[in-house]
Structures are given as structure tokens and as C-alpha cells.
Amino acid sequence: MLIVSEPQTIYLSITELLLTRNDLSLWFRPRMAALRHLRQCPSTGILISQLHTSSCASAKQHYKMLVLGGGSGGITMSARMKRMMGAENVAVVEPSEMHYYQPIWTLVGAGAKSVASSGRPTASVMPSGVKWVKSKVQEINPDTNTVLYKKINYVPTNLHSSYMQIKGLPEGFEHPKIGSNYSVQTVEKTWKALQNFKEGNAVFTFPNTPVKCAGAPQKIMYLSDAFLRKTGKRDKAKVIYNTSLPVLFGIKKYADSLWDIVKRRDLQVNLRQNLIEVRADKQEAVFENLDKPGETKVFEYEMLHVTPPMGPHLVIKGSPLADEAGWLDLNKDTLQHNKYPNVFGIGDCTNLPTAKTGAAVAAQSAILNRTISKVLKNEKPDKKYDGYTSCPLVTSYNTVILAEFDYNGQPLETFPINQAKERRLMYHMKADVMPHLYWHGLLRGLWGGPGPYRKVFHLGMK
């Protein structure tokens, strides 16, 4: 069996695709051409790992479950599969030596957390006994039950290829006024740009693609506004949020609250504006009006936060596993592949019609665990994923609007209170509780989302 998730590549450029990585080959310098084939045993339906090198005889290792990608979804499911079928039967293909809790980068970019607190060695989060294949997947061929991958020694030297879709990037990050919370290499640049702000425009962007955590691009706007007020610079600043979307946020209940904040704090929101060029030497950002293609507007900036365009992983996009748009083609209820019954998916690489967040991964992991257990028994999956996802919308250094919703865009709130209101308690959850839950609950396969607690808090009525 095969579980496909997102790789936890070091962002030099970023998760939770999620970030969707467009071309991992841009991130590594291969030094070794040892190729390995993973193929399914036709009689038992399990995966066999057959190692091939150019200079030595091949060795065989047998696995019942192969997990592609060691991000939040991959590590979570490898921990669950270890308990289900034994560590010796599970392997994870992941090239990165570091694993990052990416949601905290919002607070790192605002100076509220350190970047060091966001990362741990991959070895420390990999379930003990599970085989870690430190390699990069090259090709997936589900028709022959084969995965081709290359063992590499890599040196991260470039920004993620998605930044390259914007003219003037990634080289623009060499200038001090630009940052991005979507990369471990650039998140501290956001904080430096904010600290060094004097007067002028602070511009924040949202690209014309799906993104990891769709609330993050505006969270840093609210935090920057709060910082500028705290440091007495807000009167000299114009805070601008240019988004490609036709709405501020996709769920009306929370969007209404956010619009109130925008108006109260005198923030400028421009809809349907897509960043296409950065002229870092002139401190100018060029945006295209998506409602009038070809029409552009230049914004001068004193600070610029860039959210990069994102898209499906090329390895998946180029395989029969992908849908027409390039995403892993899954049954949205069971998370089993629509064509290949021994393939499953979780996280940002999938075509599930819900927001790509860590909270979604948690809820998906519980359903996927149930699905696989049923499939192994030749039984029909009996649990359905409802699309649950969550976005803690940080609105200041001590308040959060906790958005939770389902496939239908309907609020699916955990607590019996109005979560569309800014609350200090929710900020504490975002900054302190959720990281602990991630490292010690989710990655150990022990946290499957707040669903059971929601029923308790709502007295079984939700």
C-alpha cells in the first residue's frame, strides 16, 4: 500500500503545499545516482523495496506500507501505521534532515516566536523502528506498482520555485525591505523589515493560486499593524492588503468579523490584485487587476510581505495519480485514491475541496487510519471525512479569531461560544497549546482533530 503526502523540504526559499512544491529538483544538488525501485508483491499486495546501486548487489526489504513525504501528514500516518502493522513493515521516503512546524512562522515573522523553536531534526520525529529512506521521489507509476527515487546528498541553495513565478524574485529577497513567512530562509526577513519600518506603505500579498493556510497572508498584516501601533509608527504607515481573491475570507461568518477589523484599524484591502513583479531596487511591487487582465498598478513600499504562488507537486502532477489539475485524486470521504485502491493520500498534495491546513491533516489522519484498517480486512470504509479544517486568524499579539469549517463552508466550531469574536484564549491556543499538540500529539499519531471534544462541548448536538 502507498500513502502519498507532502515532503517536509526545507524552505529556502517553504507546509502545511503545503506547501505545494513545484519542482523539488531546484532545491537539491544530487551527488549520488543510486536508484531504488519500490514495487508491490503481486501475491500479497504489500510493497517490496528492492535496492539497486551501480556497484553492489541489490538487497531486498519488504514493507506493507510505503509513505511518500515526511511532512505533518506523512509522519502522522507512519506513526499510525507502525501501531497498525508494526514498524518493520513501514517506510517513509523523505529527503529533508529538518522538520518544521510551519504554522508558527506567522508569529516568527512578527517577532513573537523564534525560528529555532519551529524546527526539529527529522530523526527526532520519525517513529522509532520505521525505515527512513532519505531520498527524493523521482517517479510514481501505480500501474506497475513502482516508485523510483534517488538517494541524494543535498545542499539547499535556492528559493522555492514558486517564488520564481514572480518577476524579480527570488533575487529580490537580497534587499532588506522584503520578507515572506512561507520560507524558513525568509521569515526572519519579514521581522527585520517590520522592525526597520520608518514610513510609507506596508504591502501584503495573496497569490492567484491555492495556498497553504489561506489565512496566513493576512495574519501578518494584522500583526504588523499592531506592531506599528505599539512602536508609534502607525500614523506614518499605510497598511495595504492586495489579494487575488474576490473576498477577504472564504467563510462569511469570519469574513464579516475581519471586515470590521479592517475598517476599525484603517487597513486598505484591494481585491482581485495579483503580484506579478517586484522591483526591489526601486521598492516597487507591480500588481495585475484580475478582473481586467493586462491592467497593472505599481505600489511603492517600505515593507513588502510576499505569499508565493503554489501548486501541485510535479512528481504527482506527472503521474497517473493526478486529477486534471495535478492534485492527488482522492475520494473526498474515505481519502482512498479514486482509481488505485492501494493508494491513499493526506494533506496539501490532495484534491480534497477544503483548506490546506495542519488542522485538516489531523482530522484526515483519523479517517484515513480507519479507512486503511477496513481495506486491510477487505471491508468497506465506514467513516467519512467531513472536510473539517481550521484557521486561527491572528489579529494582534494577543487575540485570535478561530475559524473552523467543513467542506460546505459551514462553521464547524469546537467551542460553545462565538468563535468569530477576537479572543485572548484563542491566541494562547495558537501560540502555546497547538505547537505542543503538534509535536507530542499529531506527529505521534495520537491526535485526530477536535471532533470528539466538539460533541462533548456541544452536548452531543454538533
3-state SS, residue 80: helix
Cβ–Cβ < 8 Å for 311, 133: no
Among candidates 378, 352, 157, which has minimal Cα distance to 365?
A: 352
Cβ–Cβ < 8 Å for 413, 401: no
Among candidates 67, 70, 68, 95, which has minimal Cα distance to 81?
A: 67
Alpha-carbon distance 373 to 413, whole Å?
Answer: 28
For strands 146-151 and 119-121, give the pairing. unpaired
Alpha-carbon distance 327 to 349, whole Å?
Answer: 6
3-state SS, residue 389: strand
Residue with grid cell 522555492, as numbered in its chain:
160
Q: Is 213 a catalytic residue?
A: yes
Active-site annotation holder among 41, 56, 213, 349: 213
| Spatial CB neighbours of 429, under 8 Å, sequence gap ≥ 6 | 392, 400, 402
Q: Is 41 a catalytic residue?
A: no
| Spatial CB neighbours of 122, under 8 Å, sequence gap ≥ 6 | 8, 70, 94, 96, 97, 98, 99, 132
DSSP lists the bridge partners of residue 201 as 238
Burial bucket for residue 398 (CB in 10 Å: 0-12, 13-18, 19+): middle
Cβ–Cβ < 8 Å for 412, 454: yes
Among candidates 128, 132, 62, 137, which has minimal Cα distance to 445?
A: 128
Q: Count how many residues are written for the chain.
A: 462
Residue with grid cell 495595504, as numbered in its chain:
240
Alpha-carbon distance 367 to 352, whole Å?
Answer: 13
Give ∠ CA 214-117-192 in degrees, rounded to 5. Answer: 70
Give ∠ CA 136-142-147 in degrees, rounded to 5. Answer: 25
Alpha-carbon distance 3 to 147, whole Å?
Answer: 12
Q: Which residues are catalytic?
A: 213, 391
